[in-house]
Structure 1
Amino acid sequence: MATSFNEQFDQHGVWRREFALRLKLLAEWLKDHELLDSAVEERLKRLEGQMRSDKVMVAFVAEFSRGKSELINAIFFAGYKRRIMPASAGRTTMCPTELGYDAEVPPCLRLLPIETRLQPQPLMEWRMVPEKWTRLDLDVNDPSQLAQAIEKVSEVRRVTQEEAKALGFWHDDVPEDNPMPGSDGLYEVPKWRHALINIAHPLLKQGLVILDTPGLNAIGAEPELTVNLIPQAHAVVFILAADTGVTKSDLAIWKEHLIAEDNESNVDSRLVVLNKIDTMWDSLSTPQQVQSQIDRQRSTTAEILQLPQDRVIPVSAQKGLVAKVNSDAQLLEQSRLPVLEQALANGVLGQRQGILRTAVAQSISELRTEGARVINIRRRDLAEQMVELKGLRGKNMSVIKHMRARIEQEQGDFDASGAKIHAVRSVHLKLLREVFTLLGTSTLKAEMGELTSALRQPGIKLGVKKAYAETFTRLRAGLNQAQKTSAEIQSMLTGTFRQLNAEYGFSLQAPREPDLARYERDLDLVERSHNQYLGVGNALRLAQPEFADRLVRALATRLRVVYESALGEVELWNKSAAAQLDAQLRERRRNFGRRLEAIERIQQAASGLDDRIAEIETQEKALDELDAKLGELTAHLTQVPAAQTNDEPALKTA
């Protein structure tokens, strides 16, 4: 039987936990054998952090009343034997809702008041100010209390037209999108801007994040949701009603927020669900006729959305939930829910694990190389000592004394080389500071300031795409300059290491140069998600300075993540080069100490020479065993779990 999304996510969680544990054991072993320099330690910390904190976000997007919350209930919360997300008739989820798990926060629902839209801080900054959120504690063992508390995401406020306009829900130029006034002349808007639900659900504990989004009007009013959260989701599930198919507002969400015209690749991370197929189950029609209607709707939907037909999956979320609650296998099969779960399992997790394993394999390979290099330095030093000591066999004390003087002379020359190495490091750090400046916070802040000024020019922003294009052109130029400077540093390191290897017998090798080109690809993705949002449909919104400011702040939040990642890679590269040099300098100083100690012992006792040769032979064997153990421990970390090798991904992720 095919593995469900829940089961496969369990396997994914087990794999990540086992990997993190093996990584910890490797770190302890490396430390015990003095193979853990600062660069290796940093690489291990990053890998462990990546494994422990890796999140898989699935965004559920739909216009109102498409059964989105019911689908979330059916896939993720059927184990509670009741609905957890509000899924009654009419508008349910009124604000974007994130379900995740943070072990450091007690189970709770946090709600950010809608009034925060009137202030300049982006959503990401509000996350850092927990006291500004309304918090309700949740009892995860009481499904009734849990469901009742989560119903708060559907709360609304009634406001005047001016308030609705200030909050981004009213636009004089787009009357068809505006809310209808009630009998009291007031307008209904969401009470909350964003909701965070933190519960120890098994899937959420293992790194799943579910993003439940409201309808078109609410999506458009929150640029950070559109340009940051949805584009960064590993998969987007877009829900339509099977009986109506693709409506005008559905198509608007799809075109404006989910699919970029100039980027076909993000089609691979989109899955369309034709929900409520049970409305087509008709006792007056034969099963074949019902199936024919569903197939026709599926085909039409795929054609309108320009998707392969296998990315459109018909289901009945409501019947799927009922079937799971009542353990009704026949009804579950009729609901088609397992087909959707399988597509999510193979696609989201298959691709995510592939990406993680690729990153892991590369980092582990570099760890293996760093550790092996230190072992080889020790092996070479022992070989030098062995040649030196064997050459002393049968020699008198004056020869041994001369040997001691030669070693002391070598040690003195080596210590004097410190000034040259320091000069090389000074030039290296000067160039490195240039890279840090290009990728630093102040550079990004200046660019965002310039973009804000351009968007604040009076009039409708028909030239807004040009302002964005100029900003991204400058950002790319900065990244390219950082890459050129990095290449210059790499060239200098290679030359310097070659010279040190020749002069002092080192085995230095310049670490792999950071690939900043991939961050340029990240910039492309960010620019596409913003360009998609800057169409004529939002030109009127952009005419409002406060809305344009919110958009730039959302952009800055996302760019900061890209630039911090690039800086982190440059810092690790620098640390790898410095740590490698420090390790070889340290080993060489130890080597001088061991050689002088051996000569001293030989001078004191005739038997010292043979004893020392035997010791070195024992140490050489120990190094061979150490190298074999390092290979074994790192090989364990790159093994693919058997359960993950057979599934062919059906849905790619971004």
Structure 2
Amino acid sequence: MRNADPDDPARPASDVFLPALPEKLICGEGADAIVKAGSEGSLASTSFNEQFDQHGAWRREFALRLKLLSEWLKDHDLLDSAVEERLRRLEGQMRTDKVMVAFVAEFSRGKSELINAIFFAGYKRRIMPASAGRTTMCPTELGYDPEVPPCLRLLPIETRLQPQPLMEWRMVPEKWTRVDLDVNDPAQLAQAFEKVSEIRRVTVDEAKALGFWHEDSPEDNPIQGNDGLVEVPKWRHALINIAHPLLKQGLVILDTPGLNAIGAEPELTVNLIPQAHAVVFILAADTGVTKSDLAIWREHLIAEDNAADSRLVVLNKIDTMWDALSTPAQVQAQIDRQRATTAEILGLKEHQVIPVSGQKGLVAKVSSNAELLMASRLPVLEQALAHGVMGQRQKILRAAVGSNISELRTEATRVLGIRRRDLAEQMVELKGLRGKNTSVIKHMRARIEQEQGEFDASGAKIHAVRSVHLRLLREVFTLLGTQTMKAEMADLTNALRQPGIKLGVRKAYASTFDRLREGLRKAEKTSAEIQTMLTGTFRQLNAEYGFSLQAPREPDLARYERDLDLVERSHNQYLGVSNALKLAQPEFADRLVRALATRLRVIYESALGEVELWNKSAAAQLDAQLRERRRNFGRRLEAIERIQQAASGLDDRIAEIESQENALDLLDAKLGELTSHLTNTPMAAAKPAAAPAIAKTA
């Protein structure tokens, strides 16, 4: 036999060199299920794809149940503005939740081939360019937006010369070069995707302006040709929008270029990669951790302990170690040594370093060769992605679901409790009228009207409380507002432009983040004052007017301070000695600050959204109970009128109240049923076919 042509994944399986390897070498440790699947003569299941499908099915089913719950609450007048907002946000989160997996590697590590093997083998050919040498020259995002036709959008590299951050360029589609895609034509897709590897030849001055040439670090500069020109990427960023099954479910794949290109785009380094739910760092199995690999890892990928499990390291191209002159045990020992050494250098647990052959995995899937797929170990990586990425994402969503549904149920139950108490009061009143004469009934009417007048007079007190509440709330909005953040970013930009600041750049950043944290703490302190005021006011209103108000849970602004800590660490990681010289260039420092502003905007908008929902929950709860109390006065007066007009009216009204009490019991039971469906739906077992059954429960 002879080695398979790496550029021809469709070559028959019989033409692929594959030594007779023992089961341990084929699969590695912890892959018994994969071994079993292979021994049964079928390809091992692509567990990441399957688990992602289940995750998508669970999200769709959950969003549908939320919609049905919202309609049911609205039909029974239990949907106040705060509950409606909570439901809307939760449903939106479920429908649009994205899971980003970033693939990061230096050039020629087989990254694009690995992406082909995991996600695009169904096309029976390469889709992402994966020839020898540099292929991915610009960061490439693959995702799905139903509002956009299938296309490849390319942002010209010249946009780096302008001040707008990458996030703003996304909002200007006319500045991107668009190539329409035919998703039913794999050859056309592959040809279109080749554009991400296009280059331009520019002068050294142009390369310097674009961030690809640094006089002080010549070893990182691109090679200069005989004509004095150097190669730089033609495109700054690429967005691929196709209806791939996994992308439709919410997966986003980020394919990044090598160290030089990563370092030239701060927004990629400090925003996109840190926010990815999983990072797959790819090394070559034959070379292990090189100097440039280690630079990428230390400057861009080291994670906090709580995020370490989201980092997977792939020792790719293990097929280069398949040697007919070595025994299978010797090959296995060589792979084990490289794995252990890599884990030690990168400070990871050994199970986080996964040896694979992306190229042989692709060949195996295209040619339906189960034995070769086992030898490639690709299923082991897919399982690690499934359990690591999806497990973490499901944990986060499950926590959001649990807390939101619990609060929603509490709010709706409180409204039902008010109605039940009002009916009980009416029942006591009406039963007390049995056998009474007309004058007693008139007296009862006068007493209800007096209570109604006193209640209406309470409006002034409630209005005064709201005025103080809104004044304090405006202070919180100012502290978390856009203007405050813009002012901080302007101060940081000015500090970085000062002569000689580069040696103190970390200090400038530290001062900025200290002020940002102090602002958050002030907002948190003011929120605590509002919460104390609400608790006291609600307690007083409950005592004086029989309400059952309860101050909503205070927004957790401390977690946004933790988010600031993570952002600061990602920037400090980037502000190492290797980038100190780049920071001497004002345009590079400006790009870094703009990238920071983009990330901070997301944090502050999330914090503001939580404060707004908290405020809305308090106001909506009060409005709902005021509305219920007014209705109660109206029902009590109506009952008195009916009793005055007909002798039989009293018994009829008592029977109506008993019927309404029974209806409330049924509503309470139905509320419990609908909300328990939301909290008890198993994520991993959700099936798309389950959706029609939901309608019956509504």
Sort the TM-score into its range (normalised by shorter chain): over 0.9
Q: 1:148-163 alignment to 2 at 5 Å?
A: 148-163=191-206
| More displaced stretch, 389-398 vs 460-469 | 460-469
- Indicate how the Cα distance of structure 1 residues 111 and 487 shifts in structure 2: closer, same or farther if over 3 A, else same: same
CA separation in 1, counterparts of 2:429 and 2:568? 63
CA separation in 2, counterparts of 1:456 and 1:640? 54
Q: Specify the SS of the correspondent of 2:191.
A: helix
**C-alpha displacement of 1:460:** 5.8
Q: 1:467-478 alignment to 2 at 5 Å?
A: 467-478=508-519
Cα deviation, 1:151-190, whole Å, max 9, x if unaligned, reads: 1000000000000000000001001011111122100000
1:223 aligns with 2:266: yes
1:508 aligns with 2:565: no
**C-alpha displacement of 1:644:** 5.5
**C-alpha displacement of 1:266:** 3.3
1:197 alignment counterpart: 240
2:224 alignment counterpart: 181
- Indicate how the Cα distance of structure 1 residues 177 and 407 shifts in structure 2: closer, same or farther if over 3 A, else same: same
Contact preservation (8 Å) 2:409, 2:671: yes
Q: Specify the SS of the correspondent of 1:369.
A: helix
CA separation in 2, counterparts of 1:283 and 1:247? 27
Contact preservation (8 Å) 1:460, 1:540: no
Q: Which one of 48, 54, 75 corresponds to residue 118 of structure 2?
A: 75
1:430 alignment counterpart: 471
Q: Specify the SS of the correspondent of 2:354.
A: strand
Cα deviation, 1:73-106, whole Å, max 9, x if unaligned, reads: 0000000100000000000000000000111001
1:286 aligns with 2:302: no
Contact preservation (8 Å) 1:95, 1:214: yes
The residue type equivalent to 1:98 in the other structure is E
| Structure-1-length-normalised TM-score | 0.97
The residue type equivalent to 1:208 in the other structure is L
Q: Which one of 551, 558, 569 corresponds to residue 592 of structure 2?
A: 551
Q: Which one of 69, 77, 98 corresponds to residue 34 of structure 1?
A: 77
CA separation in 2, counterparts of 1:640 and 1:289? 49
CA separation in 1, counterparts of 2:245 and 2:66? 23
**C-alpha displacement of 1:459:** 3.0
CA separation in 1, counterparts of 2:683 and 2:212? 51
Contact preservation (8 Å) 2:58, 2:683: no
Structure 1, gaps ≥5 residues long? 646-654
**C-alpha displacement of 1:288:** 1.1
1:137 aligns with 2:183: no
Q: Which one of 403, 408, 413 corresponds to residue 449 of structure 2?
A: 408
CA separation in 2, counterparts of 1:217 and 1:318? 25
1:234 alignment counterpart: 277
- Indicate how the Cα distance of structure 1 residues 541 and 54 shifts in structure 2: closer, same or farther if over 3 A, else same: same
1:110 aligns with 2:153: yes
1:257 aligns with 2:300: yes
Cα deviation, 1:37-95, whole Å, max 9, x if unaligned, reads: 00000000000011011110000000000000000000000001000000000000000
CA separation in 2, counterparts of 1:174 and 1:181? 14
1:442 alignment counterpart: 483
Q: Specify the SS of the correspondent of 2:237.
A: strand
CA separation in 1, counterparts of 2:53 and 2:141? 20
**C-alpha displacement of 1:571:** 0.1
CA separation in 1, counterparts of 2:540 and 2:169? 52
1:519 alignment counterpart: 560
Contact preservation (8 Å) 2:58, 2:684: no
Q: Which one of 305, 314, 323 corresponds to residue 273 of structure 1?
A: 314
1:592 alignment counterpart: 633
1:395 alignment counterpart: 436
| Misfit runs of 4+, over 6 Å | none
**C-alpha displacement of 1:440:** 0.2
1:346 aligns with 2:387: yes
Q: Which one of 191, 207, 212 corresponds to residue 169 of structure 1?
A: 212
Contact preservation (8 Å) 2:103, 2:279: yes
Q: Specify the SS of the correspondent of 1:643.
A: coil
Q: Specify the SS of the correspondent of 1:271.
A: strand
Contact preservation (8 Å) 2:100, 2:251: yes
Cα deviation, 1:461-504, whole Å, max 9, x if unaligned, reads: 01000000000000000000000000000000001101111111
The residue type equivalent to 2:93 in the other structure is Q
Contact preservation (8 Å) 1:259, 1:266: no
**C-alpha displacement of 1:537:** 0.6
CA separation in 2, counterparts of 1:338 and 1:572? 44
RMSD of Structure 2 on Structure 1 (CA): 0.9
Cα deviation, 1:427-471, whole Å, max 9, x if unaligned, reads: 000000000000000000000000000000123601000000000
Structure 2, gaps ≥5 residues long? 1-32, 35-44, 687-698
CA separation in 2, counterparts of 1:300 and 1:500? 67
Q: Specify the SS of the correspondent of 2:502.
A: coil
Q: Aligned pair count?
A: 643
CA separation in 1, counterparts of 2:348 and 2:461? 62
1:87 aligns with 2:130: yes
**C-alpha displacement of 1:265:** 3.2
1:64 aligns with 2:111: no
1:608 alignment counterpart: 649
Q: What is the identity percentage for the equivalent residue pairs of Structure 1 and Structure 2?
A: 87
Cα deviation, 1:496-543, whole Å, max 9, x if unaligned, reads: 101111111000000000010000010011000000000111000000
**C-alpha displacement of 1:642:** 6.5
Q: Specify the SS of the correspondent of 2:436.
A: coil
1:463 aligns with 2:507: no
Cα deviation, 1:401-435, whole Å, max 9, x if unaligned, reads: 00001101111111111111111100000000000
Contact preservation (8 Å) 2:152, 2:239: yes
Contact preservation (8 Å) 2:55, 2:684: no
Q: Specify the SS of the correspondent of 2:551.
A: coil
CA separation in 2, counterparts of 1:640 and 1:632? 12
CA separation in 2, counterparts of 1:635 and 1:141? 42
Q: Which one of 120, 127, 132 corresponds to residue 170 of structure 2?
A: 127
CA separation in 2, counterparts of 1:598 and 1:105? 59
2:528 alignment counterpart: 487
1:419 alignment counterpart: 460
The residue type equivalent to 1:164 in the other structure is A
2:406 alignment counterpart: 365
CA separation in 1, counterparts of 2:498 and 2:332? 56
1:534 aligns with 2:575: yes
| More displaced stretch, 285-294 vs 271-280 | 285-294
Q: Specify the SS of the correspondent of 2:553.
A: coil
The residue type equivalent to 2:255 in the other structure is D
The residue type equivalent to 2:219 in the other structure is E
Q: Specify the SS of the correspondent of 2:680.
A: coil
The residue type equivalent to 2:213 in the other structure is W
CA separation in 2, counterparts of 1:552 and 1:444? 12
